[in-house]
Structure formats: structure tokens, C-alpha cells
Amino acid sequence: MVEDSLDGRPPTHRLRFSIAWAGLRERGHETGMLGDTTPAADRVRTGSLLVLCAWAAFVVAGASFAKIAENFDIAVPVRSQALSTDSYYSLCAGALIAGALVLTGAAIAVPAFARFLRAGGWRSIRGHVLRAAAATVVAAAAVLGLVALARTLTPEQRNGDLLYHPVVWYYLVPFVLTMLVTVATLALWTVAAVIVARRLELSRRVLSLEAALAVAVAVAMPLMSAATALWWGAVASGAPWFIQGARPGSSASAFSANLAATMTLMLVACAVAGFGLSRVARAWGRMQLD
């Protein structure tokens, strides 16, 4: 039909985009991400997996924030420590709770995963798991090497102003490469988890528990994002030089590109989790009736 309508002419960019968009829309309907044509249980599963993917992205943002906030309590004046400290530890508590919820969801699915393996399911996931495992080995080696390299530098050289500590460049390059490998490893394990979860035979009770855990994680993420924003405001008012990595007491802007990128990733993850939450909420009641 496309060839006949073009009549020998090359396809326009608009036509290419429309075909690609239509294909993505149909794939979204097929997986239960869009529309209500798939069974309610499939839509609940898809929504829960969207929350899992969002949480993986949020973990990356959280790791970035942990690096940015390292030793902030030393730099922040006493008058600003209460709000910044409370916000920081609220974020840590939320991360621990949400992480425990994710692990609980994985533990609940272990019996179904064991049945899946006994039925010969390993062949369908072997490539994904082996790639993720290989990436884990590379990431672990990179982290160990980075730790050894970090011990040759002072805290100021690792975290300070590059203008005053130019030696940090021979630490910065392997640091960035290690972070990229670590993020890729997390992404590969998330892909493997999603592929496995879509193939498991879960009872309605187990799927309901997984959905409830996903809802709790999706609610926790914006709360942690709010705690991060409060921390930024508190530190910016008392020690803006810390956010910039400048010398203590120097005049500096409260804006940080790294922190802004971290917050942006958090908000994107919250939006994805919110969409997954909406899919779960719309299909959960219907699943109980089916």
C-alpha cells in the first residue's frame, strides 16, 4: 500500500515518522501500555514494570546526588544544617524503604521464576542474563580500580574546583567511564528483569501484591525528589560554594548543572512511574472482577 501510494517517489520524512509512530502505538497496545484492549492482568503487570524501570533510573539519579552531597554537613553553616540534614536523611530513608519494596517484589516472584526455569525458560533469557552478568564483572573491576586511584588523591582533589586542583583530570576520566559502565549494567539487569517478569505465570494474588508494591514505590519517588529539592535550597542558602565545588566562603552561584541534571532525571523517573501507576490503578479493579 505504501509503495502504491508513493508511486515510485521516495517516502517523505513525515511519512516515515507516521509509520514509526503507528508501529510504536500498536506495540504499546500489544504490551498493555496503551488502551484497554489487553487483559487487565497484563495491564497491571505492564504498569508495575514501568514503575520498576522508573526506579532503575531513579537509582542512577540517587547515586549522582550521593556524590554531589558527599561531606555537605562539613561545609554547611549551623543555621542551615537542620533543614539540609533532615532533607538528606529523609531521602536516604525513602531510598532504603523503596529499595526494600523492590527486593520484596523480586522475592515474591522467586517461586514463579523457579517454575519458569524448570519448564525450560532459561533459553529465552540466557542472552540477556549473560550480558548483564558480564557487564557486572566489568563494572566491579572498574569500581575497584577507581577506588585504588581515589586513594592517591586528597578529598579536595577528588571533589574540589578543577581550576585549583587540575590533577583531578586523571581521576575524572576513569570516574566518568566507571559511571557509564555501572549505568549500563543497571540498564541491562533491568531489561533482563522486565523480560523475565513478562514471561512468568503469576497468580492473581501475587500479581496484586506486586502491584501494591509498585504503587508504594511510585509514591515514594516524588517524596524523595521533594527532599532533594529542599536539600538544594537549604545548602544554596547557606553554602552555595559547596554546590559549585568552589573554595569555602567564595562567592558562587547556587545553580549546579550536575544537580539540575540529577533533579531532571528524578522528575522524568517520577513521570514514568506516575504513568505506570495510572495503568495499574485503571486495571487493578477490573483484574479483581475477571
| Most confident of the following: 2-6, 22-26, 194-198 | 194-198
Looking at the predicted structure, is the pLDDT value of residue 164 above 70?
no
pLDDT of 217 strictly over 80: yes
Same domain assignment for residues 242 and 208: yes
Give residue 38's pLDDT band: very low, low, confident or very high (50, 70, 90).
Answer: confident
The number of distinct structural domains making up the chain is 2
- The answer to which of 14-23, 117-126, 149-158, 259-268 has the lowest mean pLDDT is 149-158
Give the residue-averaged pLDDT of 156-164.
54
User: Quick one: 127 and 176 in the same domain?
Assistant: yes
User: Can you tell me the distance from the alpha carbon of 283 to that of 290, in angstroms, rounded to the nearest whole number?
Assistant: 10
The whole-number pLDDT of residue 39 equals: 82
User: What is the predicted pLDDT for the residue at 163?
Assistant: 47
CB 128, CB 191: distance < 8 Å:
yes
Tell me what the mean pLDDT of segment 159-181 comes to: 70
pLDDT at 18: 85
Q: Write b or e for each residue in 176-212: b if 16 or more Cβ atoms lie within 10 A of its Cβ, otherwise e.
A: eebbebbbebbbbbbebbbebbeebebeeebbbbbbe
Which percentage of the chain shows pLDDT scores above 90? Answer: 51
- Report whether 272 contacts 54 (CB < 8 A): yes
Range of the domain at 260: 43-109+202-290
130, 96: one domain: no
pLDDT given at position 139: 94
Give the C-alpha distances (Å, rounded to integers) separating 42 from 59, 105, 190. Answer: 26, 17, 19
pLDDT at 24: 84
Give CA–CA dist 225/61, Å, rounded.
Answer: 10
Query: Do 240 and 271 belong to one domain?
Result: yes
Tell whether 133 and 249 lie within a shared domain: no
Is there a single domain that holds both residue 58 and residue 68?
yes
Q: What is the average per-residue pLDDT within 167-171? A: 65
**pLDDT (0 to 100) of residue 162:** 47
pLDDT, tens digit (0-9, with 9 covering 90-100), for 103-128: 999 999 999 999 999 999 999 999 99
Within-domain flag for 249: yes
Same domain, 290 and 252: yes
Mark which of 201, 216, 247 sits at the end of a domain.
201
In this structure, the answer to whether residues 254 and 222 fall within a common structural domain is: yes
What does the DSSP assignment read for 58-78? HHHHHHHHHHHTTTHHHHS-H
Which of 201, 221, 247 is where one domain is finished? Answer: 201
What percent of the chain has a predicted confidence (pLDDT) above 70?
Answer: 88
Average pLDDT of the segment spanning 190-217: 93
Instruction: Read off the pLDDT of residues 41-93 as tens digits, 9 standing for 90 and up.
Output: 888 999 999 999 999 999 999 999 998 888 787 777 776 678 889 999 999 99
Long-range Cβ contact pairs of 153-157 (< 8 A, separation 24 or more): 155/71
Tell me, yes or no, whether 226 and 185 share the same domain.
no
Which band of pLDDT confidence, cut at 50, 70 and 90, is reported for residue 6?
confident
Do 166 and 278 sit in the same domain of this protein?
Answer: no
Asked which of 174, 201, 228 is the last residue of a domain, the reply is 201
**Residue of 230, 239, 181 lying closest to 63 (CA atoms):** 181
- Whether 224 is in a domain gets the answer yes
User: Is residue 10 situated within a structural domain?
Assistant: no
Q: Are residues 98 and 218 in the same domain?
A: yes
- pLDDT for 268 equals 96
Taking 80 as the threshold, does the pLDDT of residue 185 lie above it? Answer: yes
What is the distance between the alpha carbons of residues 236 and 252, in angstroms, rounded to a whole number?
9
Do 88 and 161 sit in the same domain of this protein? Answer: no
